[in-house]
């Protein structure tokens, strides 16, 4: 884990942010700056209405995906994993299972195949993936159950991607924790900018940019770019 910082986070551009204002319950509160979200009410309203409408429209597709997962391989339909939300608050995130049911146990055996540096584990042709899993991963259909997390308030529709604790533990730069100053989201700049085709540092820089420029307009732009990015499937694996 990154070493303990001084009173401010020094940015590459020469800027600095005062710290800390995150809740004391955060596991890395001293690393997270205070960020006021001017459109917080509208952001949450869009989250609730958008997630509810999407679930209603996509219910038949979600039922079909659930059936195909059940028919192809033994194990649960949903994959549940602890992820970290705003200020590092843990929650259970839902996804359609795209891998064999023992994928977590197999991960240590294939760590040498990891194609990403920093706090991420990614393999383009992951041997743990099921056939239906490869398809739903390519078009981000495995992430549809996260809409329930949005309704619960764990996630926003737009924000930095929620990460697992073991990925965060591998952060090698203190400024990366800035991404936790805002609600984590289902889609964001990383998802519409190439996803896994980007380096880990490029991913984190996009998240930091989002935090520093968060606005209703930016959220709407990201939402509009999300559907074309999903259909293209670039960097999704």
CA 123, 128, 130, 136 torsion: positive or negative?
negative
Q: Taking 90 as the threshold, does the pLDDT of residue 234 lie above it?
A: no
| 148 has a pLDDT exceeding 70 | yes
Q: Is residue 94 part of a domain?
A: yes
191: in domain:
yes
Domain count, the chain: 1
**Residue 58 maps to a domain:** yes
pLDDT value at residue 170:
82
Which range marks the domain in which residue 202 is found? 38-232
Query: 195 or 83: which carries more pLDDT confidence?
Result: 83
The pLDDT of residue 154 is above 60: yes
Give residue-wise pLDDT tens across range 160-186.
999 998 888 888 899 999 999 999 999
**pLDDT at site 29:** 76
23 within some domain: no
Note whether residue 18 is domain-resident. no
Structure pTM? 0.81
146 and 94 in contact (C-beta within 8 Å)?
yes
Q: How far is CA 177 from CA 9, 82, 189, in A?
A: 10, 18, 17
pLDDT tens-digit map of 2-17 = 444 433 334 434 444 4
In a domain, 237, yes or no: no
For 6-57, write each residue's pLDDT tens digit. 333 344 344 444 444 556 567 777 888 888 899 999 999 999 999 999 999 9
Q: Percentage of residues in the chain with pLDDT exceeding 70?
A: 77
3-state secondary structure of 122: coil
What is the predicted pLDDT for the residue at 33?
Answer: 87
Residue 186 lies in a domain: yes
């Amino acid at each position: 884990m990154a070493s303990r910082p001084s009173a401010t986070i020094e940015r590459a551009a020469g800027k600095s942010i005062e710290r800390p204002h995150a809740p004391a319950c955060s596991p890395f509160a001293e690393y997270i700056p205070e960020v006021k979200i001017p459109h917080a009410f509208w952001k949450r309203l869009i989250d609730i209405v958008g997630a509810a409408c999407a679930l209603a429209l996509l219910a038949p597709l979600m039922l079909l995906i659930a059936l195909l997962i059940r028919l192809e391989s033994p194990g649960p339909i949903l994959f549940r994993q602890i992820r970290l939300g705003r200020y590092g608050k843990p929650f259970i995130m839902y996804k359609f299972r795209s891998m064999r049911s023992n994928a977590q146990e197999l991960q240590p055996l294939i760590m040498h195949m990891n194609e990403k540096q920093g706090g991420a584990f990614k393999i383009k042709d992951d041997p743990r993936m099921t056939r239906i899993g490869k398809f739903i991963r390519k078009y981000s259909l495995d992430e549809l159950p996260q809409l329930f997390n949005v309704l619960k308030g764990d996630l926003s529709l737009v924000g930095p991607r929620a990460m697992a604790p073991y990925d965060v533990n591998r952060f090698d730069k203190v400024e990366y924790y800035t991404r936790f100053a805002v609600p984590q989201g289902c889609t964001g700049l990383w998802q519409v900018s190439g996803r896994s085709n980007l380096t880990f540092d490029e991913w984190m820089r996009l998240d930091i940019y989002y935090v520093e420029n968060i606005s209703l307009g930016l959220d709407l732009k990201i939402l509009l770019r999300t559907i074309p990015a999903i259909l293209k499937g670039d960097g999704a694996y």
